[in-house]
Amino acid sequence: MFFLVDTKSGKKENMGMIPVSWQCDCEEEEQQCYQGGFPQEDGIIRYGDYVQFRHVQTGRFINTNEGQYDGGSFQQHVYASEAAETTWVVVPPCGSDEKLGYEVGWDDEVLFKPFDFPNHRLHSSPGVESPSSAQQEVSCFAESDENDNWKVVRASDDCCDDFWRVSEQFYLVHVNSGSSLHTHEIEYCGENEVTSFGEWDENSIFVV
């Protein structure tokens, strides 16, 4: 079983088994019987786990909803807000040797699917500008392509080993462009804009 946690009350809600649509992006790939949920007591994040991205500089969380950008890709909007509204599923890329339940290591490639939109993926398209800052747009995309792949890169020397763990700072690097997930005080539609930015700076550092 896996649980969702209310970030204000700390109350856990039992959500059952991982839906098949989240398990991988290849229908032919054998599905693993991994129960998933938030990371285990050892703090290691595994494929199939659930995470919420918190921006270190502002304390805001990376979220998505049904709204769409009014320009650029016209895909589903991604933004940063004070509440953790979106839980993301950590999924192995199609064709990789990784399986549900395997540990995610530094520099491993991952996909992220929003809990409420399991057919979508965190996505960024080189050449498509974000609406407010004209950096690279970040969206949620309902189709699958190479622009869904991200790499987890350590941002601190304080990491205890080669695995991605809860509370350890990281960059989320877009594999196809080399830019990093980024947010700042520039707003779009009343919330902080989320982009993919070519310079890895303090506005590109996150924890889960």
Considering only CA atoms, which of 18, 117, 28 is closest in space to residue 65? 117
Give me the pLDDT at residue 35, please.
79
Nearest to 8 by CA among 84, 72, 98: 84
Pairing of strands 170-174, 54-55: unpaired
Q: For the stretch 79-94, what's the b/e string if a residue is b when 16 or more beta carbons lie within 10 angstroms of its beta carbon? A: bbbeebbbbbbbbbbe
Q: What is the pTM of this model?
A: 0.84
Predicted local confidence at residue 94, as pLDDT: 87
The pLDDT value recorded for residue 19 is 52
pLDDT per residue of the chain (208 residues) written in tens, 0 to 9: 444 444 444 444 444 445 544 555 544 444 457 878 999 999 999 999 999 999 999 999 999 999 999 898 999 999 999 999 999 999 999 889 999 999 999 999 999 999 999 999 999 999 999 999 989 999 999 988 999 999 999 998 877 789 999 999 999 999 999 999 999 999 999 999 999 999 889 999 999 9
CATH of 2-207, one of 3.30.2290.10, 2.80.10.50, 3.40.1390.20, 3.30.565.10: 2.80.10.50
Spatial separation of the C-alpha atoms in residues 195 and 90, rounded to whole Å: 20
